[in-house]
C-alpha cells in the first residue's frame, strides 16, 4: 500500500491486520518454504533467548522475534551476488539469505566456526557467500556502506543491488539523509528496508518524532517508497520483488517501510516491561498480528495443510536448531594467536 500521509494509521494499530493472509495467486510450495524459514528464525531466536536466560551466551543479543516476515519476504528475490547489510538486530537477515544456523550460533558463542570466526558476536555477522556483507552495532552505520556498494555495482555495470535494513531509530541519524540524497541523485540500486517496530531502544516513536511514518523522509528525497504491513509475508515479498526488479532495470533507489513490532526487549531475552516502559498491553495485542500464525491460518483455510503438518514442520525445525546449538557449543574457540588477526590491515 502506498501512502501519502504522514501517519501510519491502522498499520500501527495492533487491533488491525490480524486476519489470515491473502495468499491468492501465491505458489503454495514457495509459501511453505517461506513458512519454514520464518519458523527456523523464530526457533533459533527463542533458543538464543533461552540460552541468554541461562547465562550461557557471553555477548549481548538483540532478538527480532515477531519480525520474521520481513527478512524472509525481502530475501526471496535476492541473489547471492547482491549486497545485503544489516545492523544490530540481524540474525533474521543473515539466516533468511541462507546463512548457516551453526555459523550463527557459533559466532554468538565466540567460536572459531562462527561466521566471523568468533571475533564479532551477535552484532558482527558476515556471510559473503550468501551476499550478506555484514552487520554492525553502530546505528545507521551500514546505510552509507550500502549506498557505496550500490555505487560500485553500478560503476562495474553489474545487475547487483544493495539492500540495507535499518530501524525507525536509525532514521534519526543524519547519515540517513546524506545516503538517501546521494542514492537519489546518482540513481543507485539500493533498497532501504526500514523495519519500523515503533521503538528505538525503550523509546516509542511518538516520543521521538512528530510523525510515525518514516517513509516520508525518502519521499522528501524523491525516492519511491511504500509503507506496508511488515507482518504480512505476501505483501512484503511482492512489494520488495517489484522494487528490486525496478532497481535492476535502472530505476534507482527504493524505500520499503515495513511496520512491525518486536516481541522481546531491546536487548536480551526479556520483554522490556521492566525498564521504564510498560508495553504489556500493546505486546499482547501485537502477538495477535503474528506473521507465522497468519500464514499458517491462510494455508489451513486454503486446504492441504493442517495442524499435523505444521507440528511436523515445527518439530523438524526444533531438531535442526538443537543440533546446531550442540555443534556450536562443542566447537573450539579461536586460538589465542588469532587475537590480532584482521584487526590491522596488511601493508602491501
Ligand atoms: C550511533 C549509535 N547511537 C546509539 C546507539 C545505541 N543504540 C543501539 S540500538 C539503538 C536503537 C535503534 O533503534 P532502531 O534503529 O529503531 O532499531 P531496533 O532496535 O528497533 O531494531 C540505539 C539507540 C548505537 N549503537 N549507535
b/e string for 249-279 if b means 16 or more Cβ within 10 A? eeebbbbbbbbbbbbbbbbbbeebeeeebeb
* 51 in any annotated domain: yes
What is the Cα–Cα distance from 5 to 3, expressed in whole angstroms? Answer: 6
pLDDT of amino acid 2: 46
| CA pair distance 117, 287, nearest whole angstrom | 35
Residues ≥6 apart with Cβ < 8 Å to 169: 139, 199, 200, 201, 203, 208
Give the separation between CA 214 and CA 313, rounded to whole angstroms. Answer: 36
Q: What is the pLDDT of residue 3?
A: 46
Separation in Å, CA 200 to CA 96, 139, 262: 23, 10, 11
Kindly tell me the burial class for residue 156, based on how many C-beta atoms sit within 10 Å of its own C-beta (0-12, 13-18, 19 or more). exposed
Which cell is 75 given?
530475501
The response to whether residue 261 sits with its C-beta less than 6 Å from ligand 1 reads no
Q: What would the pLDDT profile of 20-66 be if each residue is shown by its tens digit?
A: 999 999 999 999 999 999 999 999 999 999 999 999 998 999 999 99
DSSP 170: G
CA of 64, closest atom in ligand 1: 21
Tell me whether residue 321 is in a domain: yes
Q: Whose CA is nearest to atom 3 of ligand 1?
A: 139
pLDDT of residue 321: 98
Q: How far is the centre of ligand 1, averaged over its atoms, from the C-alpha of 169 (Å)? A: 6
Residue 348 domain-assigned (yes or no): no
Give the cell for residue 310: 505444521
C-beta 88 within 6 A of ligand 1: yes
Could you tell me which residues are beta bridge partners of residue 134?
A: 85
Q: What's the pLDDT tens digit per position in 99-121?
A: 999 999 999 999 999 999 999 99
How many domains does the chain contain in total?
A: 1
Q: Ligand 1 pocket, 137 CB below 6 A? A: yes
Cα–ligand 1 centroid distance for 34 (angstroms): 28
* Class of residue 327 by CB neighbours under 10 A (exposed 0-12, middle 13-18, buried 19+): middle
β-strands 190-196, 199-200: how paired? unpaired
**Residue 201: per-residue pLDDT:** 94
CA 87 to ligand 1 center in whole angstroms? 9
Residue 188 in any domain: the answer is yes
| Whether residue 169 has its Cβ less than 6 Å from ligand 1 | yes
Long-range contacts of 340-344 (CB under 8 A, 24+ apart): 341/117, 342/119
For the domain that residue 92 is a member of, what is the CATH number?
Answer: 3.40.50.970
Task: Confirm or reject: Cβ of 253 under 6 Å from ligand 1.
Answer: no
The answer as to whether 216 is a domain residue is yes
The answer to whether position 209 is within a domain reads yes
pLDDT at 4: 55
Q: Which residue's C-alpha cell is 555443534? A: 327
Question: Which range marks the domain in which residue 248 is found?
Answer: 26-328
9 located within any domain: no
Q: Which residues of the chain have pLDDT under 70?
A: 1-4
Which of 149, 213, 140, 223 has its CA nearest to residue 180?
223
Cα(138)–Cα(134) distance, rounded to whole angstroms?
12
Ligand 1 mutation pick, 121, 136, 139, max ligand atoms within 8 A of CB: 139
Beta strands in the chain (DSSP E): 83-85, 132-134, 162-167, 190-196, 199-200, 203-204, 224-229, 254-259
Find the helix packing angle between 28-53 and 291-302, rounded to 10°.
150
| Within a domain: 347 | no
**Which is nearest to 258 in space by CA: 226, 290, 286?**
226
162-167 and 224-229 strand pairing: unpaired
36 Cα distance to chain centroid: 16
CA of 165 to the centre of ligand 1 (A): 12
**pLDDT at position 342:** 78
Distance 170 CA to ligand 1 centre (A): 6
The model carries a pTM of 0.96
Amino acid at each position: 500500500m502506498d501512502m501519502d500521509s504522514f501517519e501510519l494509521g491502522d498499520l500501527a494499530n495492533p487491533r488491525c491486520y490480524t486476519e489470515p493472509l491473502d495468499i491468492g495467486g501465491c505458489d503454495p510450495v514457495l509459501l511453505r518454504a517461506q513458512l519454514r524459514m520464518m519458523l527456523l528464525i523464530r526457533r533459533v531466536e527463542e533458543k538464543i533467548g533461552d540460552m541468554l536466560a541461562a547465562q550461557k551466551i557471553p555477548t549481548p543479543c538483540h532478538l527480532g522475534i515477531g519480525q520474521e516476515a520481513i527478512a524472509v519476504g525481502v530475501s526471496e528475490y535476492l541473489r547471492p551476488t547482491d549486497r545485503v547489510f544489516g545492523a544490530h538486530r540481524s540474525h533474521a537477515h543473515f539466516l533468511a539469505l541462507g546463512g548457516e544456523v551453526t555459523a550463527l550460533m557459533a559466532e554468538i558463542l565466540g567460536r572459531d566456526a562462527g561466521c566471523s570466526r568468533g571475533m564479532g558476536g551477535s552484532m558482527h555477522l558476515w556471510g559473503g557467500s550468501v551476499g550478506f556483507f555484514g552487520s554492525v552495532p553502530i546505528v545507521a552505520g551500514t546505510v552509507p556502506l550500502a549506498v557505496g556498494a550500490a555505487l560500485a555495482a553500478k560503476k562495474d555495470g553489474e545487475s547487483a543491488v544493495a539492500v540495507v535494513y535499518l530501524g525507525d531509530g536509525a532514521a534519526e541519524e543524519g547519515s540517513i539523509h546524506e545516503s538517501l540524497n546521494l542514492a537519489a541523485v546518482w540513481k543507485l540500486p539500493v533498497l532501504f528496508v526500514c523495519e519500523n517496530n515503533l521503538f528505538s531502544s525503550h523509546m516509542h516513536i511518538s516520543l521521538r518524532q512528530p510523525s510515525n511514518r518514516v517513509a516520508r523522509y525518502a519521499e522528501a528525497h524523491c525516492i519511491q517508497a511504500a509503507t506496508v504491513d511488515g507482518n504480512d509475508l505476501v505483501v512484503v515479498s511482492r512489494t520488495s520483488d517489484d522494487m528490486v526488479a525496478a532497481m535492476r532495470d535502472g530505476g534507482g533507489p527504493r524505500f520499503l517501510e515495513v511496520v512491525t513490532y518486536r516481541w522481546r526487549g531491546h536487548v536480551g531475552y526479556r520483554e522490556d516491561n521492566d525498564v521504564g516502559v510498560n508495553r504489556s498491553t500493546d505486546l499482547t495485542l501485537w502477538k495477535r498480528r503474528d506473521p507465522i500464525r497468519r500464514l499458517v491460518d491462510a494455508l489451513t483455510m486454503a486446504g492441504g495443510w493442517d495442524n499435523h503438518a505444521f507440528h511436523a514442520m515445527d518439530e523438524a525445525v526444533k531438531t535442526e536448531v538443537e543440533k546446531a546449538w550442540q555443534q556450536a557449543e562443542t566447537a573450539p574457540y579461536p586460538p589465542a594467536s588469532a587475537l590480532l588477526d584482521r584487526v590491522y590491515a596488511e601493508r602491501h
